[in-house]
Structure 1
Amino acid sequence: MSTNKARPKVGAGAKPPALTKSAKGPTHLNLFAYQVGFGDCFLLQFVYGDADSDKRHVLIDFGTTGAPEADSGKLMQRVAEDIREKCRGAQLDAVVATHRHADHISGFATKSNGNGSGDIIRALQPRLVLQPWTEDLALATDATGPLTKNAKATAGSTRAFSALQAMNNVAEQVVKLAAEKPGGLPRGLAERLDFLGRDNTKNLSAVENLAGMGNAGKSSYAYYGMEDPLKDLLPGVKTYVLGPPTVDQSATIKKQRATDNDEFWHFHARGVSTANSIDGNAHGPFDASYVFAKKGKLPREARWAAKHITNARGNQLLGIVTMLDKAMNNTSLILLFEVGGKRLLFPGDAQIENWSYALEQPGIAEMLADVDLYKVGHHGSLNATPKSLWKGFNKRGNSSKKDRMTSVLSTMAGKHGSEEKRTEVPRKTLVDELKHDTHFHSTQELPINGLYTHVRIDF
């Protein structure tokens, strides 16, 4: 069931409403930011009643790519069990998957024996599964927005599934190539390919589990300005969807789609041929079967050229998976919760192209100026916290500032970007400002066995 009824709520020219406290709203929020390595997992526990008699739970993302592969399953299992304990046998009110990157949804994967971390979450029977509109596989590949209430899925659903598979196949072949460490491919480049490739692989079990939970409860595919998708689940809480925009809404996205139609929202036949090309040349352009020199080595005079050609091939593949990575981040949900006179911002991994549309709409900058809690975008990537957004936060300031805002960062250094290029995640300059101007909480600063950092916001 879809809840995609649109109505102009924000950005329609009117000033945002004044913040008011609701008698029926929650008294406070317990935010649990779980340590999942490089990934996101946040449990929002809205507490109602003087004796904490009523609690509503929203899980925003549940994934990791930073933990060692052998330990990631155990870690997510432990996190899932803690989430179950905090729900105390009650249903999850909502599961939000901001976008399809592995570091945001891998924990939703299930196991054949029914003991996976995703099985535990599914057993909590979430009432709603909320995802960006681009995750609806019933969309045609040339879709420019979500399905309307009366629209029916067509043969386009098959094309959409094929496009999704093609994009993921590229990532899987890149992971395979990086694992084989072909000669001439620098170690740092191989590690970068492996990390980005794994983050963009299909996560089929997790995707299917999210779809199944949505079918059992209710599913909603969100986009900028849609009607509050959580209004029936969180009394006294108003949820604004500030991203992603549809292609129809964003002129920037329209332009990028026109010039790069195969790669932006969906990946078409070109992705299949790219994946096949990688798969068919897993050993690089200088396979040993074509080398007749002693012990399978290239002649000395050819080695310089071979090294540089192989390196160039690796950089080309890095460009492909980086493009996929950025496109996926720009489909990320941006949610703003308004409750009890306060505003809480959760932008997933949204980067500047996603943010730009919302920030240009009338009234949005004024609304975001009063943010009290900011979940730092994209694990501390600088281009996920646009400077216009950061400078517009009225409640940032030094420790003496009254009603100083709170920031929460889920990250793991050394997994993304480059210090030499000043693209490391988390970006040091951003973290320094967050520490100076906000009540700063980071999962990276937890003790080794710490499972989560707890932040309380009173309304």
Structure 2
Amino acid sequence: MSPIRLHLFAYQVGFGDCFLLRFVYPDGTRRHLLIDFGTVGMPAGVDKAAQMLRIANDIADKCAGKLDALVATHRHADHISGFDPLKKGNGPGSIIARLNPDVVLQPWTEQPDLAENATAPLAAGQAQALAGMNEVARQLKARLDTGPKGLAPELNRRLGFLGENNIANKGAVNNLIAMGTRPGARAVYAHFGSDDPLSDVLPGIRTRVLGPPTVEQSAEVRRERRSDPEYWLRAPLLFARKSSAGSTASPFPDAPGIRGSKLPQSARWIAGRVREARGAQWLSIVTALDKAMNNTSLILLFEAGGKKLLFPGDAQIENWRYALNQPEIAELLKSVDLYKVGHHGSLNATPKTLWNGFSKKGEAQTAGRLTSVLSTLPGQYGGKSADANTEVPRVPLLNELAKDSDLHDTHRLAADALYDEVVLEL
């Protein structure tokens, strides 16, 4: 028996993802799947802790106290922080744990006791994957909390955001492991080509795992490209500086003055630049960690009642390319009906090959038009300037989504709205 309708609840988590999928069957049966639950920044005036508890309780109400499956696409805080039960057990993760999901699905890199240098999942095995990356992020965040001198406010903000997002989220990670190993439940750690991980809990629905590939399948996922033709505008080098020409009394006429320093005047300019370079290096390191983590993200394609629903988490180009290079997968993706926009609308998570291949794009009122769902919060990540255009969400992509799909974006929700509900007849 196949479902006849999908109710998708896209929750207002600011910069994060949280989606509850309700599949309705002809006999009235309902199956519920939760995909991600995290945030690293709420809209102005929205209390993060209170909002996450509201969402957790609403999820519990909507699924009548029982989740059939839970998906954590990858470890970033903006996707899993809501699964943290907190030390006193009064966090949103405790509420979700009581929903007793039958299946907890995560990428292969999250398999407990997996060696840090593993290139493929183990039949059995258990060590914190990505632990080294998380530790670097933790140390950086601790360093920033001491208020290091010489960092521009915007650089300090970006470092803090990325550092927080890449911290191991130990409470959430342990809770996910516990939910997947409780009696009657099972944990699945999937990669490209894995057998349908949800067939026993979502009848009449086929779930294809299109990413991430293992390193053995594609070594490219070890790194992230600085630029690529697939991006929504190529990103130039960070911190590139234009050279100044002409002779003046000062060799650095455009440099701001450094005041209040105990250093000799002759050393103040170079000291400021050393501090700035240190901040740039920190940003380079933590950005690389952020990108690598995104390339561990699950890409899931659900096929139900003749419709296709694509949920790629934060997968970026190296993750995507392996799937898109498979002719049968590229053909399969052309007829997607609902697309959860990757990585909150960033420039490198919706490859142009993927977007241009969607056959159901079209102007308003087009029958069977593509539905797109975007969970994001502007001003949190990246930036827009004469030298770099990395703001999230990326404006050219937003324009395309609005023009050629039925776009639902959480950052346009009213301040008191908890979610946007999308209904799709299957």
TM-score interval, smaller chain: 0.7 to 0.9
Partner of 1:270: none
Aligned residue for 1:242, secondary structure, equals: strand
Partner of 2:412: 445
Aligned residue for 1:383, secondary structure, equals: coil
Partner of 2:109: 134
Partner of 2:422: 455
Partner of 2:256: none
Partner of 1:399: 364
Displacement of 1:30 in angstroms is 0.3
Q: State the distance in 1 between where 2:120 and 2:45 align.
A: 36
In 1, are the aligned partners of 2:10 and 2:421 still within 8 Å (CA)?
A: yes
In 2, are the aligned partners of 1:181 and 1:190 still within 8 Å (CA)?
A: no
Displacement of 1:251 in angstroms is 4.5
Which of 369, 374, 384 is residue 409 of structure 1 equivalent to? Answer: 374
Q: State the distance in 2 between where 1:250 and 1:206 align.
A: 28
Which of 56, 59, 73 is residue 80 of structure 1 equivalent to? Answer: 56
Aligned pair 1:40/2:17, yes or no? yes
Q: State the distance in 2 between where 1:69 and 1:378 align.
A: 24
In 2, are the aligned partners of 1:25 and 1:340 still within 8 Å (CA)?
A: yes
Displacement of 1:169 in angstroms is 2.1
Q: State the distance in 2 between where 1:436 and 1:111 align.
A: 42
- Aligned length in residues: 387
1:284-323 maps to which residues of 2 (within 5 A)?
297-323=262-288
Gaps in structure 2 of 5+ consecutive residues: 225-259
TM-score calculated relative to the size of structure 1: 0.81
Q: State the distance in 2 between where 1:336 and 1:64 align.
A: 23
4+ long deviations beyond 4 Å: none
1:158-307 maps to which residues of 2 (within 5 A)?
160-161=127-128, 164-216=130-182, 217-253=185-221, 297-307=262-272
Over the matched positions of the two proteins, sequence identity in percent amounts to 58
Displacement of 1:363 in angstroms is 0.6
Q: State the distance in 2 between where 1:239 and 1:165 align.
A: 29
Letter in 1 for 2:380: K
Partner of 1:378: 343
Taking a change above 3 Å as real, the CA distance of residues 220 and 69 of structure 1, as seen in their structure-2 partners, is farther
Structure number with higher helix proportion? 1
Spell out, residue by residue over 1:293-325, the C-alpha distance to the aligned partner (whole angstroms, 9 max, x if none).
xx9722222111111000000000101100000
In 2, are the aligned partners of 1:178 and 1:191 still within 8 Å (CA)?
A: no
Q: State the distance in 1 between where 2:316 and 2:142 align.
A: 28
Q: State the distance in 2 between where 1:253 and 1:25 align.
A: 35
Spell out, residue by residue over 1:28-48, the C-alpha distance to the aligned partner (whole angstroms, 9 max, x if none).
000000000100000000011
Which of 7, 15, 26 is residue 3 of structure 2 equivalent to? Answer: 26
Displacement of 1:70 in angstroms is 9.2
Spell out, residue by residue over 1:327-357, the C-alpha distance to the aligned partner (whole angstroms, 9 max, x if none).
0000000000001110000000001110000
Spell out, residue by residue over 1:275-305, the C-alpha distance to the aligned partner (whole angstroms, 9 max, x if none).
xxxxxxxxxxxxxxxxxxxx97222221111
Taking a change above 3 Å as real, the CA distance of residues 94 and 397 of structure 1, as seen in their structure-2 partners, is same
Aligned residue for 1:171, secondary structure, equals: helix
Which of 94, 111, 120 is residue 95 of structure 2 equivalent to? Answer: 120
Partner of 1:282: none
Q: State the distance in 1 between where 2:295 and 2:109 align.
A: 10
Q: State the distance in 2 between where 1:129 and 1:251 align.
A: 26
Displacement of 1:180 in angstroms is 3.2
Q: State the distance in 2 between where 1:425 and 1:197 align.
A: 17
In 2, are the aligned partners of 1:26 and 1:47 still within 8 Å (CA)?
A: yes
Partner of 1:64: 39
- What is the Cα-based RMSD across aligned positions, in Å? 1.8
Spell out, residue by residue over 1:12-38, the C-alpha distance to the aligned partner (whole angstroms, 9 max, x if none).
xxxxxxxxxxxx111100000000010
Q: State the distance in 1 between where 2:276 and 2:383 align.
A: 18
Taking a change above 3 Å as real, the CA distance of residues 197 and 112 of structure 1, as seen in their structure-2 partners, is closer
Q: State the distance in 2 between where 1:247 and 1:429 align.
A: 32
1:354-365 maps to which residues of 2 (within 5 A)?
354-365=319-330
Which of 75, 79, 84 is residue 104 of structure 1 equivalent to? Answer: 79
Spell out, residue by residue over 1:161-219, the C-alpha distance to the aligned partner (whole angstroms, 9 max, x if none).
3x744322211222223333322211110000000000001110000000000111110
Taking a change above 3 Å as real, the CA distance of residues 110 and 235 of structure 1, as seen in their structure-2 partners, is same
In 2, are the aligned partners of 1:42 and 1:61 still within 8 Å (CA)?
A: yes
In 1, are the aligned partners of 2:120 and 2:214 still within 8 Å (CA)?
A: yes
In 1, are the aligned partners of 2:294 and 2:316 still within 8 Å (CA)?
A: yes
Q: State the distance in 2 between where 1:47 and 1:388 align.
A: 33
Letter in 2 for 1:25: S
Taking a change above 3 Å as real, the CA distance of residues 69 and 166 of structure 1, as seen in their structure-2 partners, is farther
Displacement of 1:69 in angstroms is 11
Q: State the distance in 1 between where 2:268 and 2:261 align.
A: 12
Gaps in structure 1 of 5+ consecutive residues: 1-23, 258-294
1:329-348 maps to which residues of 2 (within 5 A)?
329-348=294-313
Q: State the distance in 2 between where 1:350 and 1:422 align.
A: 19
Letter in 1 for 2:97: R
Aligned residue for 2:417, secondary structure, equals: coil
Spell out, residue by residue over 1:399-436, the C-alpha distance to the aligned partner (whole angstroms, 9 max, x if none).
13221010000000000111111110000000011001
TM-score calculated relative to the size of structure 2: 0.88
Aligned residue for 2:168, secondary structure, equals: coil
